[in-house]
């Protein structure tokens, strides 16, 4: 038995095996929807998925291209029909998955800070036989006029926009189980900007946040219109967490490290020589 849950527990479903492999999608829409450097999906036939709860508590994003659905409670990505199959985010699954490796798709769309060195097959765009929409630029209304050194970011639908100046204080690729379930992905890529370097440009009132009751600090945020990831700003915390996937231009530099690698998904192999820490890095 394979079970799927979002971070807040509203979305619950079961899958019957066997699962149809792994596809790691680097398209800009998946990155913005998940708030992760790439999305990892498995596929099953329609009858292999059973919803237990939450099917009526979904945000359905603007219908550009294929349907995208997210949990109203925490923003995690929900399974969705694609042709005769269900596309299921692997980051939300537990049980005997029997998954490993996989193939990269839309690898040509990934940001330049994301190095792909895991030796898996790569498709620059869609794999052969894939019926989903082609990649299109997602910056709504074109690039925004910004000063040099200022990096703009936006959610999947473009209603939430913001900007950062200078470099982040920390930039961590996090494998903790909360990031995996909130981002519905192998790992998050979380930039921590000093609050003074971050500003909202639009849609701040559309951002919803979820903090698990047992969590001291962990909070995830999403756009209430599209369900896509959004920055997390908290009272009395001097840093704003910005998912790197939301940036619309290059921030320069690369992430600092992989963290909470002891909690990583068993189907995921850390692909490069960036420093790794079992949990948090030393201060």
Q: Are 255 and 244 in contact (CB under 8 A)?
A: yes
The backbone torsions φ and ψ at residue 131, rounded to the nearest 5 degrees and listed phi first, read -105, -5
157 binds Zn ion (CB under 5 A): yes
Query: Which of 223/240 has CB closer to Zn ion?
Result: 223
Position among 15, 159, 163, 265 found at the interface with Zn ion (CB under 5 A): 159
Sequence-distant (≥ 6) Cβ neighbours of residue 257 within 8 angstroms: 172, 173, 274, 275, 276, 277, 281
Nearest to 226 by CA among 92, 75, 28, 12: 75
The interface with Zn ion within residues 165-184 (CB under 5 A) comprises none
155 binds Zn ion (CB under 5 A): yes
Position among 120, 125, 225, 270 found at the interface with Zn ion (CB under 5 A): 225
Query: Which of 25/261 has CB closer to Zn ion?
Result: 25
Query: Which of 110/261 has CB closer to Zn ion?
Result: 110
Task: Give the interface size with Zn ion as a residue count (CB under 5 A).
Answer: 16
The backbone torsions φ and ψ at residue 52, rounded to the nearest 5 degrees and listed phi first, read -105, -35
Position among 2, 25, 44, 88 found at the interface with Zn ion (CB under 5 A): 25
82 binds Zn ion (CB under 5 A): no
CA separation for the pair 88, 236 (Å, rounded): 37
| Structure-block tokens of residue 164 | 């950062």
Which one of 3-11, 41-49, 83-91, 171-179 is the stretch in contact with Zn ion (CB under 5 A)? 3-11
First to last CA, the chain: 40
Position among 4, 35, 37, 73 found at the interface with Zn ion (CB under 5 A): 73
- H helix or E strand, kind and range, residue 29: helix 28-34
State the residues that interact with Zn ion by CB under 5 A. Answer: 6, 8, 10, 25, 27, 30, 71, 73-74, 76, 155, 157, 159, 223, 225-226
């Amino acid at each position: 038995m394979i079970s799927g849950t979002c971070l807040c527990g509203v979305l619950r479903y079961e899958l019957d095996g066997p699962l149809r492999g792994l596809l790691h999608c680097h398209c800009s829409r998946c990155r913005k929807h998940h708030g992760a450097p790439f999305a990892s999906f498995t596929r099953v036939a329609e009858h292999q998925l059973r919803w237990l709860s939450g099917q009526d508590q979904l945000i359905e994003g603007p219908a550009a291209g294929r349907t995208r659905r997210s949990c109203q409670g925490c923003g995690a990505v929900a399974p969705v029909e694609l042709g005769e199959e269900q596309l299921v985010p692997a980051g939300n699954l537990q049980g005997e998955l029997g998954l490993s490796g996989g193939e990269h798709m839309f690898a040509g769309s990934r940001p330049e800070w994301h190095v792909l060195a895991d030796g898996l097959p790569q498709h620059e765009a869609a794999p052969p036989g894939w019926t989903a929409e082609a990649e299109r630029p997602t910056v709504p209304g074109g690039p925004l006029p910004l000063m040099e050194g200022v990096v703009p970011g936006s959610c999947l639908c473009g209603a939430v926009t913001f900007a950062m100046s200078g470099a982040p204080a920390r930039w961590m690729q996090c494998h903790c189980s909360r990031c995996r379930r909130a981002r519905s992905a192998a790992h998050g890529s979380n930039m921590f900007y000093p609050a003074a370097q971050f500003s909202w440009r639009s849609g701040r009132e559309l951002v919803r946040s979820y903090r698990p009751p047992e969590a001291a600090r962990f909070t995830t945020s999403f756009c209430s219109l599209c369900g896509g990831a959004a920055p997390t700003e908290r009272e009395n915390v001097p840093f704003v967490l910005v998912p790197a996937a939301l940036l619309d231009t290059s921030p320069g530099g690369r992430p600092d490290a992989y963290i909470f690698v002891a909690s990583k998904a068993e189907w995921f192999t850390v692909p490069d020589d960036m420093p790794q820490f079992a949990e948090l890095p030393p201060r």
